[in-house]
Amino acid sequence: MPRYRLTIEYDGAGLVGWQRQANGLSVQEALETAITRFCGQQVTVHGAGRTDAGVHALGQCAHLDLAKAVPAEVLRSAINYHLRPAAISVLTAEPAPEGFDARLSATGRVYLYRILNRRAPPSLERGRVWHVAPPLDIGAMCEGTRYLLGHNDFSTFRDSLCQASSPMRTLDGLELRRQGEEIHIEARARSFL
C-alpha cells in the first residue's frame, strides 16, 4: 500500500482537536471523510500528535495509506476539495519514504503562544491571542525561561485527564520576543504533555 505524508494547517475553533471523538468534529474525522469521498475507501489518517480542542496548526504532519497509488498533487487537491467548507487545508502531499510514521518519525514539535499586550482588547485576533492589558516585563519573562528549559517535571502544567505515562519532559527551546504589541513565546520539544 502506498503511504503519503501530508502537511496540514487548520483553524481549531469549533473543532474538538485532532483525534476522532463522539462529541464533535475532529481534524482526523474531517480528513478521513474527505479522503473516503475522493477514493471510496475507508482510511485512517495518523497525526504526528494530538491537539486539544480549539488549537490551531500551521504545519501538522500526518500520514495515510491508500489501496492504490495516486499522484500526490491530485491527492492534495482532492482532499482540499472535499474538506470544504471546513477550515482545514492540506498544504502538501507527497509519497512517504519507506518506514515513515508521522508520530514516530517526528523529531520535534513547536508551539507558538501569542500574547497581545495592550490596553484595547483584540477584535480581529480574538480567539488567536491571549489578551493581557497591563505592561509585561519581557526581560523578566526571558529570565524565567531558564527554569523551564531542560528535563523537568511538568505536573503543574498537566491536565487531570492527561494520558501521558510520565510528567517528565525535555523542553529543548523556549524563546520570547516582542513583535509590535505582541509577545511571542515559542516552545520546542520532542514531545509535550
Catalytic residues, by residue number, are: 52
Q: Is the distance from CB of 114 to CB of 56 less than 8 angstroms?
A: no
Opening angle at CA 50, ends 44 and 54, nearest 5? 115
Q: Is the distance from CB of 95 to CB of 3 less than 8 angstroms?
A: yes
Listing from the earlier edge strand, what are the strands of the sheet with 168-179?
A: 130-131, 109-116, 182-189, 168-179, 150-153
